[in-house]
Amino acid sequence: MALLCLPLFSFVNGMDRADSLFALANKYYQANAFDQAIEIYQQIIETGIQTPEVLYNLGNAYYKDKNLGHAILYYEKAKLRDPNDDDINQNLAIANARIVDKIDIIPDFFIKRWLIRLVNLLPSNTWAILSLVLFMVVLALFLLYFFSGTRLLKRIGFFSAVALLLLAIMAFWCSLRRAETISGNNAAIVVQPSVAIKSSPDEEGNNVFMLHEGTRVMVIDSIENWVNIKLTDGNKGWVERNAIEPI
């Protein structure tokens, strides 16, 4: 498979120090010093800056450093924040093609897919602002309904207000769902080269199947140092916490 082009974003958000670190990390990346680039990108993230640009570039550095598990992890983190970015989606697809585990995916109901696409169209804050603007227009239209002296304007004001009120509620719901997608996400990536999935949360449990780096799992429960995971094909098992990292 031909290696994709791994473009680097320019960093435009954050403080001067983070901007300088980002430029330094990019310099290391372009010099093929991927270990140093990874270290600097991680320093930026530790300051609390987790923009799609930083996460994407860190995924690129891990990919070039032949660390598939962490590359996919940070591509997924970047996609979570910017699901419609073509570069992120392309690089994630190429990285996913190298995963050893080929797990069947149970497709979502088409209405759920449509709702997910709708929610991902805009960031949470943009949906919230749109909802607020629509509510303000609704109030203006209700004023038109109550104070207009003509029957036609009353009807226009009333029905327009009802329609926009429904849109405002939908935008508010999309804002909540978009925020929840990031904060309440329970997906994780296997980051160890290979790991045995157990039937119970202890070393004496039977090995039910094996997973390899880069595989995406859903966390459904945890006990001390063990995590109960579920795959997209419905299979479940227990794995040590340090074998996976949450998206």
Judge contact between 175 and 132, C-beta under 8 A.
no
Could you count the other beta carbons within 10 Å of the beta carbon of residue 134?
Answer: 20
* 174 and 192 share one domain: no
Judge contact between 105 and 233, C-beta under 8 A.
yes
Q: Domain end: 73, 96, 119, which one?
A: 96
* 141 and 88 share one domain: no
Taking CA atoms, 142 is separated from 127, 134, 151, 152, 159, in Å, by 22, 12, 14, 14, 9
Helices (H) and strands (E) in the chain, counts: 8, 7
Q: Domain end: 183, 205, 220, which one?
A: 183
Half-sphere exposure of 67 (CA within 13 A, CB side): 17
Judge contact between 56 and 30, C-beta under 8 A.
no
Q: Residue 205: which CATH number?
A: 2.30.30.40
* 177 and 191 share one domain: no
* 88 and 21 share one domain: yes
Q: What is the DSSP letter of 242?
A: G
- Strand-pair partners of 216: 189
pLDDT one digit per residue (tens) for the chain, 247 residues: 334 555 555 444 445 678 889 999 999 999 999 999 999 999 999 988 899 999 999 999 999 999 999 999 999 999 999 999 999 999 999 999 999 988 776 666 778 888 888 998 998 999 999 999 999 999 999 998 888 888 888 899 899 999 999 999 999 999 998 888 777 678 999 999 999 999 999 888 899 999 999 999 999 999 989 999 999 888 999 999 999 999 8
Q: Residue 44: which CATH number?
A: 1.25.40.10
* 120 and 86 share one domain: no
Number of domains in the chain: 3
Cα angle for residues 154, 140, 150 (degrees, 5° grid)? 20
Q: Domain end: 71, 96, 121, which one?
A: 96
Round to whole Å and give the CA distance between 58 and 100. Answer: 22
The boundaries of the domain holding residue 175 are 110-183
Q: What share of the chain is helix, strand, coil (3-state, %, to 5)?
A: 55, 15, 30
